[in-house]
Amino acid sequence: MSLYFFRISTGRYSGAADQPYEFEDRAAAWTEMTEVCANLLGGIARSMKPNAKWSMELLDENKEPVFRISIVGETVGQR
């Protein structure tokens, strides 16, 4: 079993959880991360502004990134 931390970043804000989560392996950690993101996605998308970025990272026990899921709102072209 390995310890992992979640970190969420949005704009200038970035914060990592103080409490570690324990997962059997990286595959289990990835599965949990995608489930958490799926549960948050609706609220994130509804409040996202143009040219904004949101991301969730899964950090290892040394708080080094292992996985990252990002959502980016981009303005493309002009009208």
Residue 76 pLDDT > 90: no
Contacts of 28 (CB under 8 A, 6+ apart): none
Give the up-direction half-sphere exposure of residue 63: CA atoms within 13 A in the CB hemisphere: 7
Query: Rounded to two decimals, what is the model's pTM?
Result: 0.82
pLDDT, tens digit, 9 for 90 and up, residues 6-45:
999 987 777 878 899 999 999 999 999 999 999 988 888 8
Residue 50 pLDDT > 70: yes
Distance CA 57, CA 14 (A): 10
Whole-angstrom Cα Rg for the chain: 14
Every domain of the chain and the residues it spans: 2-72
Res 12: pLDDT: 73
Res 71: pLDDT: 92
What element of type H or E holds 45? helix 26-47
Res 79: pLDDT: 65
Q: Which one-letter amino acid corresponds to residue 9?
A: S
Res 23: pLDDT: 95
Distance CA 32, CA 24 (A): 11
